[in-house]
Homo-oligomer: A and B are copies of this chain.
C-alpha cells in the first residue's frame, strides 16, 4: 500500500515553545552546538490504491486544511513513498 508522508512545521514567524524547550534542554544534557530547534509534525497516510495526481491534489488539500492549521503552520513537504519505487517529492 503506498504511503504519503506529510510534513508540517510552525511558520517561521510563529513562536515555537516546544522547540524552544528542546533547544534549552539539549545543552543541559550535554548536547552542545545546536543553535535552534523547531518542532513540527509528520503524518504517514496509507493510501488505498494508486497515488494519482488527483489523489495527490486531494491529499494536498487535506494537508492544508485538516493536518495543518494554515494560520500558524506550513505544509513544508508531501512525499510519496512506495515499496517498489522508493521516495519521491510531490
Which residues of A pack against B, CB within 8 Å?
1, 7-9, 19, 22, 25-26, 29, 31, 33-49, 55, 58-59, 61-62, 65-67
Contacts and interface: CB of A to CB of B under 8 A. Distances in A.
A7 B43 CA distance: 10
B22 A66 contact: yes
Given A19-B43, A35-B48, A62 B29 contact: yes
A44 B37 contact: yes
A39 B43 contact: yes
A40 to B, nearest CB: 4
B47 A43 contact: no
Contact of A43 (B22, B33, B49): B22
